[in-house]
């Protein structure tokens, strides 16, 4: 499933939400220097935001199709699974991963991150988690249940922050188990985005599970979900919480003004959300 996202990288890049500027700024400012490794960079959504914040970014992704798209946006990307990727002796001030670390072995990934981070470097793993209003979640749940009655999971079955809680805990435990980081922290940034009907349906096609549906199931799910949005006037506002699990590799002398922002750049606005 992790390698299914490259089927249509342009759609993925166009429809997937960006990350709050405040989150990017805090991660960038919390690194000892500007060199960032973006793990599972995909089409380069997060990479471009860190580049706009003044960082020098190298991406690594398992999917050559996604990597090719990111290179077209002017990003440096290497192809490979992070756990076995050859860093060729290179080290970084920050290792980041947006919406991808749950695809990586938590123990091997933490060990590899520690190996490529400079002393004092920061590992920052983040996810956008949607938080729909209860009535909207209930209607989306019903649409999914009727279209996919035999699906093993309905993504609207329980609050998404609750569902992601186990993921965050597992990630933090992996960092502790590596024995190479300080105590993990969890940062939270709340923001929201308004979607039109077509925008929401298009991004639904980019989920990992979307590739498991038959064309008939996909058409039914999109039609039912579209009817839910139509009943709300054709658009709705989705609250998000961007959650960061982060830890620092001990050692090094952290300068008073550190990170990408120390280079004097001003991060450009993504147009999405607030921290």
Per-residue pLDDT of the chain (275 residues; tens, 9 = 90+): 445 555 789 999 999 999 999 999 999 999 999 999 999 999 999 999 999 999 999 999 999 999 999 999 999 999 999 999 999 999 999 999 999 998 899 999 999 999 999 999 999 999 999 999 999 999 999 999 999 999 888 999 987 788 788 899 999 999 999 999 999 999 999 999 999 999 999 999 988 777 778 999 999 999 999 999 999 999 999 999 999 999 999 986 654 445 776 544 443 333 222 22
How high is the pLDDT of residue 66? 95
How high is the pLDDT of residue 261? 63
Angle at CA of residue 113, ends 107 and 114, nearest 5°: 90
How high is the pLDDT of residue 162? 81
What is the number of other CB atoms lying within 10 angstroms of the CB of residue 157?
12
CA 199 vs. chain centroid, Å, equals 19
Is pTM beyond 0.85? Reply is yes
Please, what is the end-to-end C-alpha distance for the chain in angstroms? Answer: 31
DSSP lists the bridge partners of residue 27 as: none
How high is the pLDDT of residue 258? 58
Angle at CA of residue 211, ends 209 and 216, nearest 5°: 105
Q: Identify which of 241, 235, 236 has the alpha carbon closest to the alpha carbon of residue 273.
A: 241
The residues, ordered by sequence, that sit 6+ positions from 262 with a Cβ below 8 Å of its Cβ are 29, 33, 34, 255
Rg (C-alpha) for the chain, rounded Å, is 19
Strands across the sheet containing 35-39: 76-79, 56-61, 35-39, 92-98, 117-130, 235-248, 185-196
How high is the pLDDT of residue 254? 53
The dihedral formed by the CA atoms of 22, 203, 172 and 19, expressed in degrees to the nearest 10: -10
């Amino acid at each position: 499933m992790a390698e299914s996202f490259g089927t249509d990288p342009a759609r993925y890049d166009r429809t997937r939400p960006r990350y709050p500027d405040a989150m990017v700024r805090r991660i960038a400012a919390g690194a000892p220097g500007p060199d960032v490794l973006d793990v599972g960079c995909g089409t380069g959504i997060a990479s471009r935001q860190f580049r706009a914040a003044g960082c020098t970014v190298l991406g690594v992704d398992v999917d050559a199709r996604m990597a090719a798209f990111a290179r077209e946006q002017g990003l440096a990307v290497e192809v490979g699974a992070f756990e076995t990727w050859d860093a060729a002796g290179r080290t970084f001030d920050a290792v980041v991963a947006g919406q991808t670390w749950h695809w990586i072995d938590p123990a091997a990934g933490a060990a590899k991150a520690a190996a490529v981070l400079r002393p004092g470097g920061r590992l920052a793993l983040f996810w956008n988690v949607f938080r729909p209003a209860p009535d909207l979640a209930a209607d989306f749940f019903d649409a999914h249940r009727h279209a996919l009655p035999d699906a093993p999971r309905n993504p609207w079955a329980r609050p998404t922050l609750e569902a992601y809680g186990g993921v965050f805990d597992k990630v933090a435990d992996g960092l502790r188990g590596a024995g190479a980081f300080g105590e993990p922290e969890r940062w939270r940034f709340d923001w929201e985005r308004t979607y039109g009907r077509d925008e929401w349906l298009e991004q639904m096609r980019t989920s990992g599970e979307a590739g498991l549906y038959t064309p008939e199931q996909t058409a039914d799910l999109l039609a039912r979900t579209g009817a839910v949005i139509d009943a709300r006037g054709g658009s709705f506002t989705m609250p998000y919480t961007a959650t960061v699990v982060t830890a620092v590799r001990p050692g090094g002398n952290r300068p008073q003004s550190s990170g990408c922002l120390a280079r004097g750049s001003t991060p450009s606005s993504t147009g999405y959300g607030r921290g």
